[in-house]
Structure 1
Amino acid sequence: MLVAIVILILVVGSLVFHFASPWWFTPLASNWSAIDDTINITFWVTGIVFVLVNCFLAYAVFRYRFNKNKRADYEPENKKLESWLTLITTAGVAAMLAPGLFVWGQFVNVPEDADVFEAVGQQWHWSYRLPGEDGVLGQTAVELISEKNPFGINPEDANGLDDVLIFSNEMHVPIDQPVKVVMRSKDVLHNFAVPQFRVKMDLVPGLASYLWFTPTRLGRYEILCEELCGMAHYTMRGHIVVESRENYDLWLSRQTTFAQTLKAPEYDLVKGKALFASCSACHGGAGEGNEVMNTPSLAGQSSWYMKRQLKYYQQGVRGSHKDDQYGQQMAAMAATLSDDKAIDDVLAYIATLPGKAEPAAPAPGDSVKGKHLFRNCAYCHGNNAEGKFALNAPKLTTLQPWYLKRQITNYQQSIRGAHPEDLYGNQMILMSRLLQSEQAVDDVVAYIRSLAPDGGTLTSKAVLPGPVSEGE
């Protein structure tokens, strides 16, 4: 009797939890309400079966409870019961599968008037490509991927020269316009998913997959990788902005084409040196940094990373937090660089600086323990903290220990990286919190310090700046 009551309580509790649960679908923002309908049908079919089976189980437990004066009736076959169960099961399975097959038929047939863009996945970043005026995406190949050609576009293919490249993790689409998303991966399995649009699809290395949707609500929605793509998989996030056609066209006009990235940039080292004069007051004449002024070393750091940071300062992505006093100072200084050409000139000059050795100081951490903790960092920053352009991770060996510690602490406290436009900062907040004590931070910093050659001697091997799209 008690078992039967418990079963009935579980059934009632499950129903109440389902209908009263605050965890449900995100608000629909696309044309795929049919996907919600198929899921609801599945819930109804499986829910009814769940209630009937468990209620019958409770009845059977009660009706046929132990009685020493009764014996069980052995009946190995019942063709009538088996026929009914077969028919009911078939109807239930068909009710669940048929709507899904119908919706899948719609999902794989893209409207002829759909816009097209390509989503490229890599650990742990999204980037995008749109066809240019010819309306055709250019050919790509894995062997063509490089720092200057991160999309691996064939420069001999005329269709690819006008392709529009979006280096940021944020993509824009016009409202009420069908969009086809062609997807490929540079490295491992990924998955492109936008919960509000009810769409998701795997990105398989060596293959091109696709999906389509029509956005129906203005807003900014998060793109998730719903495939276990490696360490820190949960940090692989992007955004898609749905806006009016007018705003979309304005955004699109500001983006860079592949042909523009092929043009060798021209640098004026004389102007760069003049612009660096104001930087040298804090960062030193050789870009060596100054702990007294709380300024990091610049010499030897990758120019693509420094350009991104300067743009972040100018756009308020970095240096706008009330507790980031040094970031606020840099935001004011970055504003003195009037345009991208000025940024490129000053970075080209910094790339010529030799840097200087910082006096060796006893590290408060344990580098042996730090080596173990650094394994999580090495996935992006490299085993020797040399940085990886492909993963958008800067070099760490050129930075002073006190500066590294301050930045890790700022990430942990969301003083840095919390801005919604700072994708890599958002990732670093999550990663930095794996270091659960100040001692752990000191240990990691001590290990990074041990990787710097000659006790921290800096040599300039910076890559001259390449194109950075607006908002990166």
Structure 2
Amino acid sequence: MAVAIILILVAVASVLFHIFSPWWWTPLASNWRYIDDTITLTFWITGAVFFAVVAFMAYCVLRFRHTEGRRAVYNPENKKLEWWLSVGTAIGVAAMLAPGLIVWHQFVTVPAGATEVEVMGQQWQWSYRLPGKDGRLGTSDARNVSAENPMGLNPDDPAGQDDVVIQNDDLHLPLGKPVKVLLRSIDVLHDFYVPEFRAKMDMIPGSVTYYWFTPTRTGTFEVLCAELCGAAHAQMRSKVVVEEEKDYHAWLEKQRTFAELSGQRDVAKATYTRESE
């Protein structure tokens, strides 16, 4: 009797703790409420199954407890019970997977007119690239990565000369505009994650992964690496600043393009060479 009561109390306490827990998601700041809804649905389904399984265990402990004179009966199979369990499990799994598949389809189906923003991860910092006045990003290649060209941009591609390059600084985005995030890594696995946006994706060396979102709230949001990437993984931080469009364009005008940075580096390199001679 005591064991059955303890099992029921554990099940009830676990569900209630989750419902009334003070630890919950950060306030949503993007269009991905669907992700919150999908996770909540998964919690309800798994919570119900958890309670049902524990309650069944408590029932078995109570119903089939040892008593003098009772003999156990061996029942090798029960086809009716097996069918009920198979059908119930299939319905539960489908109820969890179907919403996730629908949201995943939306997650990777980028709307027309979304602005492309490139995010590059490396041990242990973030770099960003935004399209210039031509509205498109130039090509890049990992073989071009160097101290002078840390993002590996193609210096012979005219489309990349006006690209805005952000290093060791915050990424700014306009409010209410869809953004397609292109993700690259030049060393190990990273994962670009902003909790308030509910959007994250692994960054795989040699590949370009992507997702999209629309910022829905102004503010400054912390960027985390959600993939264990080495000794300084926890310090791989940055910030995304979402602001009104006029403020975003004012910030963008102050940033330097790839051509300007390359010219500045060339001048610095030439000056250093002359001074060394």
Give the TM bin, normalised by the shorter chain.
Answer: over 0.9
Once residues 110 and 265 of structure 1 are traced to their aligned partners in structure 2, the CA distance between those partners, rounded to angstroms, is 36
How far off its partner does 1:76 sit? 1.2
Where 1:221 maps in the other structure, the secondary structure is strand
| Partner of residue 207, structure 1 | 207
1:110 matches 2:135: no
CA pair 235-22 structure 1, distance change in 2 beyond 3 A? same
Once residues 221 and 253 of structure 1 are traced to their aligned partners in structure 2, the CA distance between those partners, rounded to angstroms, is 22
Q: Deviations over 1:91-145 (max 9, x none)?
A: 1000000000000010010011111110010111001001112222111122211
How far off its partner does 1:265 sit? 6.4
| Partner of residue 184, structure 1 | 184
| Partner of residue 71, structure 1 | 71
**Letter aligned with residue 180 of structure 1:** K
Q: Deviations over 1:242-271 (max 9, x none)?
A: 00000000001111111112225697xxxx
Where 2:192 maps in the other structure, the secondary structure is strand
Asked if the contact 1:138/1:153 (under 8 Å) is kept, the reply is: yes
**Letter aligned with residue 15 of structure 1:** V
Pairs within 5 Å for 1:346-385: none
Once residues 200 and 109 of structure 1 are traced to their aligned partners in structure 2, the CA distance between those partners, rounded to angstroms, is 15
How far off its partner does 1:68 sit? 2.6
Where 2:168 maps in the other structure, the secondary structure is coil
Give aligned pairs, total. 274
Where 1:256 maps in the other structure, the secondary structure is coil
Asked if the contact 1:125/1:169 (under 8 Å) is kept, the reply is: no
Q: Deviations over 1:293-312 (max 9, x none)?
A: xxxxxxxxxx99xxxxxxxx
Larger Rg: 1
Once residues 52 and 84 of structure 2 are traced to their aligned partners in structure 1, the CA distance between those partners, rounded to angstroms, is 15
How far off its partner does 1:16 sit? 2.2
| Partner of residue 89, structure 1 | 89
| Partner of residue 40, structure 2 | 40
How far off its partner does 1:168 sit? 2.8
Where 2:29 maps in the other structure, the secondary structure is coil
Moved >6 Å (runs of 4+): none
Where 1:263 maps in the other structure, the secondary structure is helix
| Partner of residue 175, structure 2 | 175
Once residues 210 and 117 of structure 2 are traced to their aligned partners in structure 1, the CA distance between those partners, rounded to angstroms, is 10
Pairs within 5 Å for 1:5-404: 5-264=5-264
Once residues 188 and 265 of structure 1 are traced to their aligned partners in structure 2, the CA distance between those partners, rounded to angstroms, is 27
What stretches of structure 2 of length at least 5 have no aligned partner? none
> Given the two structures, how large is their TM-score scaled by the length of structure 2?
0.94
**Letter aligned with residue 235 of structure 1:** Q
Once residues 251 and 20 of structure 1 are traced to their aligned partners in structure 2, the CA distance between those partners, rounded to angstroms, is 42
**Letter aligned with residue 181 of structure 1:** V
CA pair 170-264 structure 1, distance change in 2 beyond 3 A? closer
Once residues 265 and 34 of structure 2 are traced to their aligned partners in structure 1, the CA distance between those partners, rounded to angstroms, is 50
How far off its partner does 1:47 sit? 0.5
Aligned-residue Cα RMSD (Å) equals: 1.9
| Partner of residue 408, structure 1 | none
Where 2:104 maps in the other structure, the secondary structure is helix
| Partner of residue 466, structure 1 | none
Q: Deviations over 1:368-416 (max 9, x none)?
A: xxxxxxxxxxxxxxxxxxxxxxxxxxxxxxxxxxxxxxxxxxxxxxxxx
Once residues 265 and 242 of structure 1 are traced to their aligned partners in structure 2, the CA distance between those partners, rounded to angstroms, is 30
Asked if the contact 2:116/2:136 (under 8 Å) is kept, the reply is: no
